[in-house]
Structure 1
Amino acid sequence: MASGKDLTGTLALAVSTAALGSLQFGYSMGVINAPQRVIERHYGRSLGLLPQEGVRTSENASVPGDPSQEQAHPAVLMYWSLSVAIFSVGGVVSSFLVGFVGDLRGRVKGMLMANLLAVAGGLLMGFCKLWKPHVMVIAGRAILGFYCGLTSGLVPMYIGEIAPKAYRGALGTVHQLAIVIGILISQVIGLDFILGNDDMWHVLLGLSGAPAVLQSLLLPLCPESPRYLYILLGKEREAQKSLLRLKGAYDASADLEEMRREKEEADQVSRVSISSLLCSSELRPQLFVALMMHLSQQLSGINAIFYYSTAIFAGAGIGQPVYATIGVGAINTFFTLVSVALVDRAGRRTLMLAGLGGMCFCAVAMTIGLKFQTSYAGMSYVSMAAIFLFVAFFEIGPGPIPWFIVAELFSQGPRPAAIALAGFCNWTSNFIVGMTFPYIQKWLGAYVFVLFAALLFGFTAFTYRRLPETKGKNFEEIAALFRKGGKKAPADAKRHDVELLQLNASTSA
């Protein structure tokens, strides 16, 4: 008989199927960057600013959008910028709907409904050559952004609710792992000799909807979240069946009892909406920490690396910057795997501190490398090493942990509202960094990463003071940590564990 802590085939299927949405999120986020010049040329032709394919005149020997041309036509540049930015706008809007969609028919059916958006967005971009590419790509990117805003909340919510406590951290990082794998895939197949060329770029963009098709075929095989079935719908028998499918044959009474207590507590108060969560003094400490974790992820400067790494490498004097950018994607993936292995051993708080502190150090090193690259030989390699290490430290902690720690900090009642607010915070700060970084870079020059170093130092200090360790703890224990004032000093650890045991004993009594 299984212990209820084992990793079963059904659990692996459910987690990997849900993570296909995260893979699509990463692919959609990274796919637009590699074929930028190719897309700009097609935008120019669609707008009548460039000759059609196969037509070339002496007057147009050098045209906006060609690799040899530094600046695209202002109209083309505007539509290109909108193609990139509209993705985040869609995510900001839909992040508020995560709780509604997840609770409407369940987590599994919520992901199924969202897949209709992904397929629609992919088809619009895949067939964009048939009409006006700039209109269809922007529309497709907006729809996919809306989809990704939903999936960035639904996937961590579902995985967090079905994962056994012993593996909650490792399985929670699968969301981020799938995202970075999606980014890496888009970078590789976006090379000009694969799909990032004049003939195949629309196929490259259209593949953004492909994972949704596979996920739609597999989701009906996945059990619904037991916590959703019991706590929200009151279906104890169905919740028990789901638990047995996910964890194998075991005594589910302890898990059902924990859910029963959580349901009783949730039934005593009205449904926790976003506005009531914002006004709740009891839940405010958890919400503040959750939002700060997502801010630390996005305001760390990591998206400046992801969005503009090719330009940064070129500015640092690196030959073949496109391949250096793919190297960043590979390191991204490898160190997310490291985080999967470490998160349930070292703990969330430890990895967040190590990641944020290491990124702060790398931001300083990056600044030194950029400042003195023309004065001292080898400084370009210092910049490149600092970028690689920056990404490595990000994926150890700040990359994966904020996505699933929100589900750990909140019980079933306020969890959808908390995930919606965290998603809104994440997408909004993502959009702000993506839009403002070129201007900040122009303003600060080689000192641009000093700003991120200062922010990272502040986030490290906040994490040390306010983030409790959630490894191996249930929702009642985590709530007790916040009631007692956040993190515990190492000297108080044993005394704190005794207090938690006493608290649980009195609750059970």
Structure 2
Amino acid sequence: MLIAIVIVAALFGMLFGFDQGVISGALPFIKQDFTITPFMEGVITSAVPLGAVAGTLLAMVTTDRYGRKPMLILGAVIFLVGSLISAFAFNQYVLTLARLLIGVGIGASAMTAPMFLAEVAPARIRGTIVSAFQLMITIGIMISYMSDAAFGGTGDWRWMIGVGVFPSIIALVGILLSPETPRWLTLNSNADKARDIIARLQPESSDAEIDEIITEIKESAKDEEAAPAWSTFLKKGILPVTSFAMIVFVLQQLSGINAIIYYAPEIFKSAGFSGTTTQLLATVGIGVVNVALTIVAMYLVESMGRRKLLILGFFGTAASMALVTVATMMNIAATPYLAMIGIFAFIAFFAVSLGPLPWLYMAELFPLRLRPRGMALASIANWFFNFVVALLFPELLAGIGIVGTFAIFTGFCVIGIFYAIAVAPETKGVTLEEIEQRTVAAG
């Protein structure tokens, strides 16, 4: 049962990834149909992360009251409707509004699904299970790139986007058949049902062990019956958690990841690759590397630990972005290939570290009653800076070129190295309740 539920919840990551990645291959053909400027290109692309801010706020006010499962159901419905409207959009404004709607679904499910996964997973494999969400994001991105390449020959961007309808239906059916999380049920006076679900999720656990899990959940929440005030996040023990969860997402976005995900064909064109087909095939390569290394991350996150992996990720992404910057600045015959190596290396280091770890950290670090609002704050930081990068990248590329733009990304990756060394905690193998006790003790 645990495996089935994890697959269903992680499917929302695939929807997230698909809608992030599909625009990269569709944009060249959308520009032909609607004759849009670089600024409008940024608006269409950035509509998803902007909508995700609203989706995050929606999830924040509903997940505690109505549960994790209803929010995921709503997210799947929004994905489905938004994908259909996008595929049939008759101008750039309808397309932008449809992508804004999709963003609401992404924001709501991107906050709720990691929470759902963290709350159903046993502590010993929680890192691997929550990382499955990031794996499915990368699979969704890869599928979107394949969809772009498949329809690239005909330039049919509507089919590129419309493919997203099918995983939306699968996710909706799957989550309708899934249970609510034991932690939410216990917190809402339904411990008997929670006990039954834990027994099905962890059939190897004895009755005494299940009772102990229920007791730990109750103990962690007994003094936090009311929804927390926002000022709680500024308290001594909570502020370091809040700031870390937000800043690590900001640095993730400013590393340049979504400039590559959203605009990969444009980047390959600027690096010297000619021909739309070549650019789309190179983009598929990004998707394949992303998936392969995210699978590796699911092992490393438990064997190597969170802290060391985050530091390694910032080192690797900084070096990779520096290679792209220097290669394009040299402008020699080998520049396209050196730039491609740098981009692929960046994706590899990102996939094993900067990709999954911020989502995992935000699901682990906040105490139970603070978790929805705390994760909302972290998610808003993520989506706002995602929006900024997506909106400004076309203008930056047109204004200061690929060299200046990637030099900026390199600088933020270097900042990330020092920040991770100074601040990043280790949570490998620690239960959510033990993490909460540490946070409370620090306050």
After superposition, give the CA deviation of every residue in 1:380-414 in whole Å (9 maximum; x if it has no partner).
Answer: 32222111111100001100111121111122110
Aligned residues: 439
1:154 lines up with 2:112 in the alignment: yes
Match of 1:241 among 196, 201, 209: 196
Match of 1:180 among 129, 138, 146: 138
Listed as ranges, the matches of 1:164-243 within 5 Å are 164-191=122-149, 193-194=150-151, 197=154, 200-230=156-186, 232-243=187-198
Q: Please report how far the alpha carbon of residue 356 of structure 1 lies from its aligned counterpart in structure 2 after TM superposition.
A: 0.8
Q: Please give the alpha-carbon distance, in whole angstroms, between the structure 2 residues aligned to 1:224 and 1:482.
A: 26
**Is the Cα–Cα contact under 8 Å of residues 274 and 418 in structure 1 kept in the other structure?**
no
**Is the Cα–Cα contact under 8 Å of residues 52 and 108 in structure 2 kept in the other structure?**
yes
Match of 2:79 among 111, 118, 124: 118
In structure 2, do the counterparts of structure 1 residues 78 and 458 end up closer, same or farther at CA, with 3 Å as the change threshold?
closer
**Is the Cα–Cα contact under 8 Å of residues 298 and 429 in structure 1 kept in the other structure?**
yes
Q: Please give the alpha-carbon distance, in whole angstroms, between the structure 2 residues aligned to 1:117 and 1:73.
A: 26
Match of 1:503 in 2: none
**Is the Cα–Cα contact under 8 Å of residues 196 and 204 in structure 1 kept in the other structure?**
no
**Is the Cα–Cα contact under 8 Å of residues 95 and 149 in structure 1 kept in the other structure?**
yes
1:90 lines up with 2:68 in the alignment: no
In structure 2, do the counterparts of structure 1 residues 355 and 73 end up closer, same or farther at CA, with 3 Å as the change threshold?
closer
Structure 1 stretch displaced more, 150-159 or 476-485: 476-485
**Is the Cα–Cα contact under 8 Å of residues 243 and 252 in structure 1 kept in the other structure?**
no
Match of 2:4 among 3, 13, 18: 13
Match of 2:18 in 1: 27
Match of 1:337 in 2: 295
In structure 2, do the counterparts of structure 1 residues 310 and 122 end up closer, same or farther at CA, with 3 Å as the change threshold?
closer
Match of 2:363 in 1: 407
Large movers: runs of 4+ above 6 Å? 483-486
After superposition, give the CA deviation of every residue in 1:300-338 in whole Å (9 maximum; x if it has no partner).
Answer: 111222223222222222352221111111111111111
Q: Please give the alpha-carbon distance, in whole angstroms, between the structure 2 residues aligned to 1:295 and 1:279.
A: 19
Match of 1:36 in 2: 27
Structure 2 residues without counterparts, runs of 5 or longer: none
**Is the Cα–Cα contact under 8 Å of residues 95 and 150 in structure 1 kept in the other structure?**
yes
After superposition, give the CA deviation of every residue in 1:442-483 in whole Å (9 maximum; x if it has no partner).
Answer: 236524322222221221111112111100012343346567
Match of 1:457 in 2: 414
SS in 1 for 2:92: helix
Match of 1:384 in 2: 340
1:470 lines up with 2:423 in the alignment: no
Match of 1:108 among 59, 65, 69: 69
Report the TM-score, using the length of structure 1 for normalisation. 0.81
In structure 2, do the counterparts of structure 1 residues 196 and 202 end up closer, same or farther at CA, with 3 Å as the change threshold?
farther
Match of 1:396 among 343, 348, 352: 352
**Is the Cα–Cα contact under 8 Å of residues 259 and 390 in structure 2 kept in the other structure?**
yes
Match of 1:436 in 2: 392
In structure 2, do the counterparts of structure 1 residues 104 and 115 end up closer, same or farther at CA, with 3 Å as the change threshold?
farther
In structure 2, do the counterparts of structure 1 residues 392 and 158 end up closer, same or farther at CA, with 3 Å as the change threshold?
same
Q: Please give the alpha-carbon distance, in whole angstroms, between the structure 1 residues aligned to 2:162 and 2:437.
A: 48
**Root-mean-square deviation (CA), in Å?**
2.3
**Is the Cα–Cα contact under 8 Å of residues 45 and 391 in structure 2 kept in the other structure?**
no
SS in 2 for 1:237: helix
**Is the Cα–Cα contact under 8 Å of residues 124 and 429 in structure 2 kept in the other structure?**
yes
In structure 2, do the counterparts of structure 1 residues 249 and 29 end up closer, same or farther at CA, with 3 Å as the change threshold?
same
Structure 1 residues without counterparts, runs of 5 or longer: 1-9, 44-71, 487-509
2:430 partner amino acid: K
Instruction: Looking at secondary structure, tell me which structure has more helix per residue.
Output: 2
1:406 partner amino acid: M
After superposition, give the CA deviation of every residue in 1:101-153 in whole Å (9 maximum; x if it has no partner).
Answer: 3223221222112222122212222333xxx3434322221111100000101
* Bigger relative contact order (CA 8 A; separation at least 6): 2
Match of 2:219 in 1: 264
Match of 1:140 in 2: 98
Q: Please give the alpha-carbon distance, in whole angstroms, between the structure 2 residues aligned to 1:205 and 1:311.
A: 18
1:358 lines up with 2:324 in the alignment: no
Match of 1:251 among 164, 183, 206: 206
In structure 2, do the counterparts of structure 1 residues 457 and 283 end up closer, same or farther at CA, with 3 Å as the change threshold?
same
**Is the Cα–Cα contact under 8 Å of residues 328 and 403 in structure 2 kept in the other structure?**
yes
Listed as ranges, the matches of 1:52-63 within 5 Å are none
Q: Please report how far the alpha carbon of residue 78 of structure 1 lies from its aligned counterpart in structure 2 after TM superposition.
A: 5.8
SS in 2 for 1:32: helix
In structure 2, do the counterparts of structure 1 residues 196 and 175 end up closer, same or farther at CA, with 3 Å as the change threshold?
farther
State the percentage of identical aligned residues: 30
2:16 partner amino acid: F
Q: Please give the alpha-carbon distance, in whole angstroms, between the structure 2 residues aligned to 1:81 and 1:450.
A: 20
SS in 1 for 2:196: helix
Q: Which protein is bigger by CA-based radius of gyration?
A: 1
SS in 2 for 1:414: helix
2:26 partner amino acid: P
